[in-house]
Structure formats: C-alpha cells, structure tokens
Amino acid sequence: GVDPVVIGNPVDVTRFTRARDAELDGWQPTEDAPVRIVFLGRLVERKGAGELLRAVARARSLTQVPVEVVIGGNGPLRDELEAFVRTAGLDGVEFIGFVDEADKAALLAGADVVALPSTGGESFGISVVEALAASRGVVLAGDNPGYRTVMEGLEDQLVDATDTEAFAALLARYVGDAAARTAASARQVEHAGRFDVDVIGAQVVEVYRA
C-alpha cells in the first residue's frame, strides 16, 4: 500500500565535468586528427566491446574520417578481441587494460565518441552518467533498460549494439560530424547534472522527511 518513489543513483558529477572543462580549455580540434573512440568496461560478452569493434570495422567503409579506438578494461575476452583486431586488419586500436579510478575522468574527457554498448544486464548506468558529464564529444550507449533510464531524452544516442549495420551507421554519423559531437556534449553535461550527488541527495532527504 505504499507508493514508491524512484530515485537515481548519486554520482559525483562535478569531478567529471571538471575533467571535461580542463580538456576543452586546452584542446584545439584539427581537421586531420583522427576521431578518438573510447570504450571503458569489463571485457565480457554483455559489455559489448566485440560489438563495438565489429561496428568500427563496418563504419570504416561508410566514412573516410580516420579513427582511433581505445579499449579500456580487462576481462576474459581480451585475447579474442585482440585476435579479431588482427584478423580484421583494424589499425589504430589500442588495448590499455585496467583503468584506475583516478584516471577515468581524463580518459572519458578526451574522447570524441564514448561507446558503452552494453547489450543487457544493467540495473543503472553509472558509467553512462560519468561519460555524459566528462566527454567533450558524444556518448553512444547500448539500448538496454538500465541505460535507457539514464539516457531519457537522449534516445537518439541509444543503439542495439547487436545490430552491426545500425551501430556502424550511428558511429559513422558522429565520426563524420564534429559539430554534432559538440552539440551532443553540451546537452549531455546538462543531462548528467540530474544525477549529481547534491540533486539525488536532496531527493533522498525529501523522501525521509515525507
């Protein structure tokens, strides 16, 4: 008989927006620089690193803009993913392994595209909120229930990562359009503020008071 109140998880959004501000303060985009795509997560099936690499391979036939891909994280699929990169002839892909919490914000801030293409099993997208707050570019997320909750209002940046053609088309769209990435970043940082610890904390306190 109790009406529930749904409240998001609190995230220290300010730490990530500071990294974004610092990145933008010293960053000068150049036309010939490769577009930097960053994945950060455990290298397991559901996190979608394999789907990302397959989409990147396909997207390279859809755009002439050079890209570099940074895969952050470790897991049981690392050897398989590295083998795919070699077999597919994907140059410009770097596996950097475990990313320390202290280095996470700067990594996300330096991305033109953050790809978090989880295929499922997500209760809430804390990593998505962090990327939305930090990235100077666009955040593309897997269309699963947990991430969809966080990306409410940014649904055009969700993708079924198992659909390689759709994923590649979305990547190619943003890889080839710097203005669209910049516009997305401005929307995202405001959107992430909804989950800041001060905002969520006030909501929690209000429930206790009620």
d(CA 118, CA 159): 10
**Given this model, what pLDDT does residue 55 score?**
98
Tens digits of residue pLDDT in 148-201 = 999 999 999 999 999 999 999 999 999 999 999 999 999 999 999 999 999 999
pTM (2 d.p.)? 0.94
Tokens for 190, please give them.
Answer: 């405001």
d(CA 36, CA 92): 10
Tens digits of residue pLDDT in 91-107 = 999 999 999 999 999 99
Structure confidence at residue 206 as a pLDDT band (50, 70, 90): very high
Tens digits of residue pLDDT in 23-59 = 999 777 777 789 999 999 999 999 999 999 999 999 9
